Amino acid sequence: MLALIDADAVLDSSQNVFNPDVYRGHAGFQRWVETVGAVWDDLGPSSIEFLGEVGEHVVAAVRVSGRGRRSGAQVEMASS
């Protein structure tokens, strides 16, 4: 999966209620996977829509779904 992610990519979830943070590059993405994996089962993208380019950046809308590891609650969220 890291081959699909730019080494300078930034995943900004600082506005999230749970585990707010900013994850940078491959190491950050791996840390995000570990953090999320501790709380969620079957969490992953259910759709990705590429919205366009802004300079050297790609903007995408991502819908993610999964199930709470302890609660079993099904969740879905969208971000861009």
Residues 34 and 64 in one domain: no
Asked if residues 14 and 31 have their Cβ atoms less than 8 Å apart, the reply is: no
Q: Based on the fold, state whether residues 12 and 46 are members of the same structural domain.
A: no
Full domain range(s) for residue 25: 1-38
Q: Which residues of the chain have pLDDT under 70?
A: 80
Do 8 and 34 lie in one domain? The reply is yes
Angle at the Cα of 66 from the Cα atoms of 65 and 72, rounded to 5 degrees:
145
Its pTM stands at 0.62
Structure token pair of residue 41: 């089962």
Looking at residue 80, its pLDDT comes to 60
Residues 32 and 23 sit within 8 Å (Cβ to Cβ): yes
Alpha helices (runs of H) in 1-80, residue ranges in sequence order: 25-37
Q: Are residues 46 and 75 in the same domain?
A: yes
Sign of the C-alpha dihedral computed for residues 69, 73, 76 and 79 taken in this order? negative
